[in-house]
Structure formats: structure tokens, C-alpha cells
Amino acid sequence: MQNEEELKTVSIVIPILNEEYYVEKLLKSILDQDYNMDIVEILFVDGNSTDNTVKLIEENLKDKNINYRILYNPEKITPKSVNLGIKNAKNDIIIRLDAHTEYPSNYITKCVYYLNKTKADNVGCLSYAKSEGIVGNAICEVISSKFGVGNSKFRTNAQSGYVDTVPYGTFRRSLFEKIGYFNEELIRSEDNEINYRIIKNGGKVYLFNDIGSIYHPRNTIKELLKMAFNNGKWSTYTSYFLPGTMKLRHLVPFFFVISLIVGLIVSICKVTILTIVFLLEIALYILLDLIFSFKNIKKGFVHCLLCFIIYPLFHISYGIGSISGLFMIIKKQYSKRKKIKNLQNTIYEYDEKSLRDLQLKSLEIFRYLKKFCEDNNLMIYFAGGCCIGTIRHKGFIPWDDDIDIYMPRESYNKLQEIWKEKADIDRYECVIPSENNYTRNIFITINDNNTTFIKTHQVDLDINHGIVIDILPLDGCPTKRMQRLMQKFWTLIYSLYCAQMIPRNHGILVNFIARVMLFLVPIKKIRWKIVRLAERKMTKYKISECDYVTDLCSGPKYMQNEYKKEWFETAIYKEFEGEKMPIPIGYDSYLKMAFGDYMKLPPPEKRKPEHNVVYCDLNKSYKYYKGKYYC
């Protein structure tokens, strides 16, 4: 994700909403910057302020020779404002600023310097809280201490280095084209989420400590507790729907408040041992509260007393907010399940033209894949319905709605390795089932990013829902009975934990065993460890060392078939839709073993598309339909 080119032009993005109390200090710190402001643009994104914020911006920047624009976001959601600013930005570097903050005069200079020097994907500096009045100063101390906010490094004066998050952020604009924009579903915690996504995609986040911005927190206890409640609510929500985004420190108040509730209950019920544990917890908390509140006694007794009061109020408000977030999750999940059920009962009906258009779009994808494989010496041929269609119809089976491909395991693995490097990934994605990309498929697919083909069993998944080509690997098939039985055993384990769904139409016994096995291993990480182990076991027989090959990823029925290796040693080209397309050299023997009398048409009631589809659109990306046809 690193970019070696040194970038200099800057677009500053500032979301604003009713900031008249802070905006003039912000503008002064921008005007005092020592950076060349001729290559800087400022984008204020206003959430329909009802005070004098916009007027003050225009008055303060009048005749200042500053390139600025004011954009409007009526939805008043911060990540939407930031994204609007980024999408309208013209320069190479995006610096996000917060309106409640003042910045040192070398802030832009330092951000650009460290972004170019470290090659990190996001950089930021320390953040110091500053307020006015005795209550405000106490609030600043609480939200700047490790007892108050945990090991939030940018708030606790940490050393320079790579971290999990920084305030605000300085990014290359190209980053957002690679990993996407800020998550607009998050009212809070959007900065934690995008930093997590950067790191997850192999990038880095860098904190530099030679300067610090000055953040103006809430000035009253009431405003602080409201902020804590909302932060807690969204930290729980984010942790559930985007695992890994939030750290343990964000969830500590949740467990603290839960422990207080449980402790009160056991005390009322007079459970002696648990009551003692509860009292020890309270005593330990009070001790820590005293230590951190009175360590700066030089600031005065009243200041320390206020800190002593604010710490528990802050933590409890955050914890109650976290519990509120839990209820928000339950409500959303209930609504989501209801919506999914309705979507799964929605079947897209093809007419003759729409089905034909789908076939031709699938063929367009296959042409690209075929050329890619030929250029990279990868073996590929039609499988299943398209292979039958080639021989029986010289094209698609009239009711077929997809293309299935066979690739020997060696070519199959190589395709995954080189796709991102050599393919047109803006148009086509090689979707590989994994722990972080759960698709309910047990094989890889090639998806067209600019189209939509949402299947009923995937409506609850936020995955690539473009028109798809299924790629099925061919594996070596051992001749020894025990080895073959073990290969089938490991294939069934692989299929169950990779798809993570109950097999259909395989009988009551298989259904029961599958449910038990999924119940016994509920943890996702362990399931995927089993998947990787099973895949190694079932694919360990190389085709070059075997006399037979088998198809392990098309289900239990086809897994039983043992094809002679020479049937798939090379491809021959036959007419398909007026073009020459590859099929296995031993296609007749393969098709007879897999399908019987494949030249005979099925009965009329079975002449229909195979997949249940919620929605299909050949001209719009599936991303356009998120929240409407998939969740």
C-alpha cells in the first residue's frame, strides 16, 4: 500500500456543525500555517449549521487569498461529511481536521513530512486537551489520563511509532480508492474503523510526538457524560459488526458496569463470596481513583476532588452507553433477520431476453479469464453445463444461468497468486473464501465488479455480488481405498466449515451430523484453522503422481467420481456461441460418468435456471444495491 512518490499538494477536509464558539480559533491556526498555502485547498463540509459558523468562516477568510469551498451535508453524519469532502478534493494529500481543535503553525508541514518519510498510510500527532474553568480543566485531566481512557497513545503522550489509531489523520487520496472511504454507517468510531481497515490491508498508521494539537473537549460534566454515553454506544456497535476495529480499552467500561449490576444483585441476594469479590472490586476502583485524582495535588484540592467525581461518572456513562449499544445491536439484528427472510422469498424472474443477456455477459467475463489463463500458461476448460452446452447446443444450454470452469489444482492455486498483480482488478475480482471473506462458497470465483447477481443464500453477506464464474479445482485421486476414504472425509470437513451452512437435500442423518459439528466448533478462527488443515489433507495428492483425478468441490455426489487423468490432460477447442472454447480432451467419457446420457434433454419441468436470484442488473455495480437487496 506504500507509494514512493513524494506528494505535496494538500486538501484539508473539515466537517462542521454549529461550531461558532470554536471556529475562529480553528481558522487562526490554519491561517498561521507555515506551509505553502498556494498548494492547499480547504473544504468545509457543513451539516446545516443553525448558528453563525458559516458566516464566521466567510468573514474570517475574506481577502485572505485562501482557496476554500463550503460543501453541505444535510444528513449531519460526520463520516458522510468527511467522505463528501474527500470525493470533492483535488489534491494528492487529504488532511482531516476537527473544528474543536487548534493546530500548531507547522502542523501541515509535519503531516506532509511524516507521510512521505515513513511511507505510512495515515499519520497523526499527539492531542492535548485544553479547556477553561475549574470543571473544564478537571475534564481535560480525566480524558488525558491512562485511568480515564486506557492506553490511547495519542492522548497519553506516547513515543513516536506505529500505532493502531491517530486523531483526525493525514492520508494519500489514492488510499481511499484502494480500501474504500469512511464507514458511513458509524455515527462514531469511524476513525478507529478506517485505521483498522488500513492495517488489515497491510498498511501502517504512524504517530509522531514532536508536536501536538490542542483539543477543546466538553466544558460541562453534562456534555462530557453525553459524549461518553454516545462513544460507549457506538464502540459496542462497532465491535460487534466490525470485529477487531475496537480495542479492549473501549470495552472495559462495559464490563465494569455489568460487574456493578451483577455485584449489586449478589449483594442483595446475600451471596457471601461473590459479595466480597464485589466489595474488593469497588475498593480497588476507589483506590485507583484516589491515586490518579490526587497525584496532581498542586492544582488544588477542588481540582482533585472534581477529578475523583468525574472519573466514575465518565466510566459509568461510557459503560451504560455500551449496554445501550448492545440493545441497538439486538434491534438491528432482529430487523436484519426479518429483512433477510423477506429477501430470500423474493425470486428474480428471468424472461427470455434477460436470461440471454446474462449468458452473454457471463461469456464476456469468460473471454477475459480465458485470455488471462492463456497468457499465464494456466490450464482451463468448461465444466458441467457449459461443457454439455458446447457439445449438445454449440453454446449455452438455453436455460443455463452461469459458467462453471475446471482448473487443475496447480493452475487453480497459481491463478489466486497472480490475479491481483496481473489482472484488471478494477473490473474483475478473484474472490477467495477465507476467514475475512466468508462467501458460503468452497471454491474461488471471478466476479464482475460492475454488475449485480445477488443469490438468495448470500443476501445477508457483504461480499462481491457481481456476475460470477465458478472455478472448480481438479485434484489427484489416490487409488488406495483408505487414502481415498480419508480424502473424502477431509473434503466433507472442509466443505462444512468453509461453507458454514447446513447441507440441503442430503438426508436427516447428514443434516443432524452437520448441525452437531458446527455447534461443537462455534469460534470462527478455529473453524478456519480446521478449513486450512482439511484443505491440505484433501489436496495432498498431486495429479502428476496419480492415475485419476476427482472434483472435490461440487458436492458429495460428484466427489464420488474418479476420472481418468488423461481425460483432462489437455483442452481441445469446440464451437461455443460462434467461438472456439476449451473443453477437456476426454469430454465424452467425463460427461457420461458425471451426467449419464448427456445428449438427452431433461424433462420440461427441469429446464429452468439453477440459481435462486434476488436481483440481477447487468449495468450497475452490486454496491449500488447494498441495504436494498443485500445486507
521 and 454 in one domain? no
pLDDT at position 3 = 47
Whether 357 is in a domain gets the answer no
Cell triple for 336: 436484519
Whether 350 is in a domain gets the answer no
Out of 345, 375, 397, a domain closes at 345
The total domain count for the chain is 4
224 and 90 in one domain? no
Q: In this model, does residue 153 exceed pLDDT 60?
A: no
Which run of H or E residues covers position 15? strand 10-16
245 and 153 in one domain? no
Question: Mapping DSSP to helix (H, G, I), strand (E, B) and coil, where does residue 471 land?
Answer: strand
pLDDT at position 2 = 45
Neighbours of 577 (CB within 10 A): 15
Rounded Cα gap, residues 180 and 438, in angstroms: 19
- Give the residue-averaged pLDDT of 204-229: 86
Domain that holds residue 485: 479-540
- Give the residue-averaged pLDDT of 327-349: 79
Whether 354 is in a domain gets the answer no
100 and 237 in one domain? no
Lowest mean pLDDT among 134-148, 271-285, 360-374, 379-393: 134-148
The residue among 98, 134, 127 whose CA lies nearest residue 220 is 134
124 and 179 in one domain? yes
Task: State the pLDDT confidence band at 158, using cuts at 50, 70 and 90.
Answer: low
Question: Mapping DSSP to helix (H, G, I), strand (E, B) and coil, where does residue 564 land?
Answer: strand
Rounded Cα gap, residues 352 and 576, in angstroms: 19
pLDDT at position 178 = 84
607 and 510 in one domain? no
Out of 178, 201, 216, a domain closes at 216
Q: Helix crossing, 384-392 with 587-595: angle to 10°?
A: 120
Task: State the pLDDT confidence band at 69, using cuts at 50, 70 and 90.
Answer: very high
282 and 375 in one domain? no
245 and 381 in one domain? no
pLDDT at position 190 = 83
pTM (2 decimals)?
0.64
Q: Which residues contact 387 (CB under 8 A, 6 or more apart)?
A: 381, 583, 584, 587, 590, 591
Please, are residues 582 and 382 in contact by the beta-carbon 8 Å criterion? Answer: yes
Out of 520, 540, 560, a domain closes at 540
Question: Mapping DSSP to helix (H, G, I), strand (E, B) and coil, where does residue 274 land?
Answer: helix
Whether 351 is in a domain gets the answer no
| Domain CATH for 549 | 3.30.460
134 and 30 in one domain? yes
Q: Quick one: how many helices (H) and strands (E) in the chain?
A: 20, 20
Residues 443-479 have pLDDT tens digits of: 999 999 999 999 988 888 889 999 999 999 999 999 9
Give CA separation, 171 vs 154, 166, 405, 591, in Å.
17, 12, 41, 54
Q: Torsion over CA of 612, 615, 621 and 627, rounded to 10 degrees?
A: -110
- Give the residue-averaged pLDDT of 393-417: 95
Share of the chain above pLDDT 90, in %: 50
Whether 528 is in a domain gets the answer yes
527 and 483 in one domain? yes
* Burial call 526-535: b when 16+ CB within 10 Å, e when fewer: ebbebbeebb
